[in-house]
Amino acid sequence: MKKIVKIEGLDCPNCAKTLEIELNKLEGVKNAEINFVKGKLSFESEDIEKAENSIVAMTKKVEPNAKIILTKPNSKKFSLFIDLLTLCLGTILGVLVLVFQSRLPLWAFWIMIVLSALLLGYKTYLKAILLLFKGIINENLLITISVIGATALGEYMEGLMVIFLYTIGKVLEKLAVDKSRKSIEKLTNLQPEYAVVVRDEKEIRVEPSEVNVGEVIIVKPGERVPIDGVILDGNATLDMQSLTGESVPVSVQVDDNILSGAIVLDGLLKIKTSEEYKNSTVSKIMNLIENAQDKKSKTETFISKITRWYTLGIIILAVLTLGIGWAITKEFSSSIYRALKLLVVSCPCAFAISVPLSYFSGLGNASKNGILIKGSNYLDALGKINLVAFDKTGTLTTGEFQVEKVESLSENYSEDDIIYLASLGEQYSLHPLAKSIVKENKRELEKIRNVKEVAGEGVYFKYNKKEFFVGRKTKEKNVSVEIFENNKLIGKIYLNDTIKDSSKEACEELKNMGVKMVLLSGDSQDKVAVTSRELGIDEFKAQLLPQDKYKILDDLKQNKENKIAYVGDGINDAPSLTLADVGISMGINGSPASIEASDVVLGDDNIKKIPLAIKISRFTRKIVWSNIILSAIVKLSILVLSLVDITGMMVAVFADVGVTLLAILNSLQTLYYNPSKKKINLKKFN
Q: What residues are annotated to the active site?
A: 391
- Burial profile 653-664: b = 16 or more Cβ within 10 angstroms, e = fewer: bbbbbbbbbbbb
Give the helix/strand (H/E) hosting 250.
Answer: strand 250-252
Q: Tell me the sheet residues that pair with 238.
A: 250, 264
Count of H-run helices and E-run strands, the chain:
23, 26
Q: Classify residue 594 as left (phi > 0), alpha (psi -120 to 50) or beta.
A: alpha
Residue 6 CB contacts under 8 Å (≥ 6 apart), including other chains:
39, 40, 41, 68, 69, 73
Tally Cβ neighbours within 10 Å of residue 359: 29
Amino acid at 297: S
Using alpha carbons, select from 566, 571, 563, 568 the residue that is nearest to residue 585.
568
Nearest to 520 by CA among 576, 589, 558: 576
In 3D space, the residue among 680, 658, 686 whose CA is nearest the CA of residue 347 turns out to be 658
Specify the length of the chain in residues: 686
Cβ partners under 8 Å of residue 243, min gap 6? 190, 259, 261, 262, 281, 282, 285, 370, 603, 604
| Under 8 Å between Cβ of 351 and 303 | yes
62: Cβ–Cβ under 8 A, 6 or more apart, which residues? 18, 19, 22, 127, 130, 131, 134
Contacts of 515 (CB under 8 A, 6+ apart): 385, 386, 387, 388, 611, 614
What's the rounded Cα separation, in Å, for the pair 583 and 592? 14
| DSSP symbols for 71-121 | SSPPPHHHHHHHHHHHHHHHHHHHHHHHHSGGGS-HHHHHHHHHHHHHHHH
Residue type, 623: I
